[in-house]
Structure 1
Amino acid sequence: MSLSPPSPVSHYVLLNTNAGTANATGVTAESLGDLFAANGLTATIDADGDRPLVDRIAAAMASGAPTIVAAGGDGTITALAATLVGTDRNLAILPLGTVNALAKDLHVPLDLPAAVAALATGVAHRIDVGEVNGRVFLHKVVVGLIPGLAAGREHIRGRYDASAKIGFLRYMFRRLARARRIAVVIQPSEGERRVERVQAIAVSSNAYDEGLGQFFSRHVLDGGTLTLYVLRHLNPGDFLRLTASMLLGHWQNDEALTMESVQAVTIDSRKSLIKVMFDGEVENLQPPLQFSIRPRSLSVIVPAEYATPAEAA
């Protein structure tokens, strides 16, 4: 694996000022520019939230900058990554969202000044991406009950008061108590076609780790496989047990869950549209859902201390 330092003066930054952390802390183009300058970096910073994101990404690609920085949440990062996949341009992340899943997997500091400082000395590293029906995802796509729960979360986005959180917990447990299983057809690239009745299915790029305190984290992002998770039932008791198991580091042996490594898999349903959680965003996709892996197709910037001496050379 070869890693190389990004250009110290060629960064094009897409700043989403409406992202969770950015909105809460009041990050602006000016304050972000000052952080870049303090670390010896020059950058073009696009903070024009009134322009469609697709137009802003096109302008970033047209700039010729070798490193394009997503300063926002997982939605901004996934949208930019979809354009950078298969190119020699680098994706860098300044985690300003609520979850910041990929940033955590890449060990990017969640503190903005520290993240910019890490970018100044970072190195390029190639990772896998998943695809479903031709669209790139970086973490996972989830089908079934979970997207419905995530949709309920949208009603309290930006609210941090106790009443909003209690209301969401009530909504979540009502949904869990009333949830019905759905019938899906699963066809792995290597294996038999089967029909399952499930509460949820997740397909992730590589596999999530199991260990004490590791909650949906991955230490391998270039293993070249998808992981298929099938959750056959999820009542309130299952939810509490699985959550505790994840925190304690032994969730993969839960009796409600099976998992398998695949190169590709197709998931079909009789429904004309399937609600999914796509890298954290809820939307509808048309089945069949055809998943595949694109090994080492995206170049990302990671902190130098997480590269081995051989890789950083």
Structure 2
Amino acid sequence: MRPPARCATASASSWLRGGDGSVAGVAHALAGTQAALAVLPLGTFNYFARGLNMPEDPEAAARAILDGQPHDIRVGTLNGRVFLNNVAIGLYPAILEEREASYARFGRYRLLAHLASLRTILRFQAPHRMELYQDETRMRIRTPMLFVARSAYQLDQFGPEGGEAISDDRFVVFLAHQQTRLGFLRLAWRLIRKRVDHGRDVIVSTPRRLAVAVRGRRQIPVALDGEKLKMKLPLRIQLNDHALRVILPPDKAGALK
């Protein structure tokens, strides 16, 4: 994980400039402490900051932080490591690898992220054979991608429902049905148009915890809040035992999912 571009501590708050991956790294250190995390939205997508209702303009966000109030939230962990928005295996980590290569060559632009997604889908390889334990349920499935969401804001951006499950301290798990390049292109188009069909395109569940094993693998590339890393299997995903204290803009605490 890249270090934050800037991180300073003032009184009981930690101010952070960086993308969601950098924010997650600091959140891991602060969870369970009295220090409050204040985030300036200066990354590529800023899902976490936007989910906190922070203005996208940095100056406006800084003013909102100064006038804001602390609020405790529940965050997810992957094998003990804090994440804020999502965890994914399969096609999505490959998309991140392609995206980072594009960023290194041309700069960090959202359009490049979407083009990287398209290129990765066109190079799509074989699906994984996964064994999942969701709460007390066991499931075997052949799928090219598993996506676990903890951000109601990010879910709303792409159309799939699940905000109520997030508020109920659950995860929203998506298992892709599609097995071909053409199928994934169609799914990507439906995501853009916010017309994903939960029965036709993806299997959706809302567990409080899950474990994932992949046939024939001891470790696997994982996408964790936009950062790509390799982790040993099985993957164990659950809510962190300790709350994370964050700074919310004035009068926004009631709107947080």
Q: Same fold (TM over 0.5)?
A: yes
Q: How does 1:1-313 map to 2 (within 5 A)?
A: 16=5, 46=8, 60=9, 65-158=11-104, 159=106, 165=112, 168=116, 171-176=119-124, 179-191=125-137, 193-205=138-150, 214-215=157-158, 222-253=167-198, 255-269=200-214, 270-294=216-240, 297-308=243-254
In 2: Cα distance, 1:161 partner to 1:203 partner? 25
The 1:106–1:238 alpha-carbon spacing in structure 2 relative to 1, beyond 3 Å, is: farther
2:64 counterpart letter in structure 1: A
The 1:244–1:254 alpha-carbon spacing in structure 2 relative to 1, beyond 3 Å, is: farther
The 1:170–1:267 alpha-carbon spacing in structure 2 relative to 1, beyond 3 Å, is: closer
* Structure 2 residue ranges without an equivalent (≥5): none
The 1:188–1:175 alpha-carbon spacing in structure 2 relative to 1, beyond 3 Å, is: same
SS at match of 1:77: helix
Q: CA deviation at 1:111?
A: 1.0
TM-score (norm 1): 0.70
In 2: Cα distance, 1:174 partner to 1:244 partner? 14
Point out which structure has higher relative CO (alpha carbons under 8 A, 6+ apart).
Answer: 2
In 2: Cα distance, 1:225 partner to 1:266 partner? 14
Kindly name which structure, 1 or 2, has the bigger radius of gyration based on alpha carbons: 1
In 2: Cα distance, 1:283 partner to 1:138 partner? 16
Q: Which runs of 4+ in 1 moved over 6 A?
A: none
1:172 counterpart letter in structure 2: T
In 1: Cα distance, 2:246 partner to 2:108 partner? 36
Q: Deviations over 1:154-186 (max 9, x none)?
A: 111151599x9598467324313xx21111110
Contact 2:172 2:206 in 1 (8 A): yes
Aligned length: 248
TM-score (norm 2): 0.84
